[in-house]
Amino acid sequence: MSMDNKKNKLYYTIGEVSKIADLPQSVLRYWETEFDDIKPPRHKSGKRLYRQAEIDHILLIKKLLHEDRFTIEGARIALKKGADRNNKTNITVEEIKNGLKEIINLLDE
């Protein structure tokens, strides 16, 4: 399967994710218990269906654990800090938008 086809898919099986991340399926199942952001929905048959966002999260966790040598707890903390930073960025962008709207309103008067 080419990379273009993979990007167009909405859901991936645990086998496909295992190949993409180069991790055993047992590790993926274990990480589901350790990291709250990895909770793939299940098909009626019980198979896990991973979305691209979960795959990206798995690859980030793999980098933190394998390359950056974090512990699982350290990776959780790093991911939380990253989420906090992203939330602050979103708030800041919203504040900038509101500020620009106020400036436009003042210029229109």
Which residue from 75, 83, 80 is spatially nearest to 58, judged by alpha carbons?
Answer: 75
Structural domain for 2, as ranges: 1-69
The answer to whether 49 and 43 are in contact (CB under 8 A) is yes
pLDDT in tens, 40-56: 999 899 999 999 999 99
Confidence of residue 6 (pLDDT cuts 50, 70, 90): low
The whole-number average pLDDT for the span 14-34 is 97
Residue 55 and residue 85 in one domain: no
Say which CATH number the domain at 37 has.
1.10.1660.10
Whole-Å CA distances, 91 to 81, 84, 88, 94: 15, 11, 5, 5
Domain count, the chain: 2
Q: Which amino acid is at 1?
A: M
Share of the chain above pLDDT 70, in %: 81
Beta-carbon count within 10 A of 83 CB: 11
Residue 61 and residue 83 in one domain: no
Residue 60 and residue 7 in one domain: yes
Residue 57 and residue 76 in one domain: no
The whole-number average pLDDT for the span 18-37 is 96
Q: What is the DSSP string of 30-66?
A: HHHHH-TT----B-TTS-B-B-HHHHHHHHHHHIIII
The token pair at 65 is: 């654990």
Residue 62 and residue 76 in one domain: no
Residue 63 and residue 77 in one domain: no
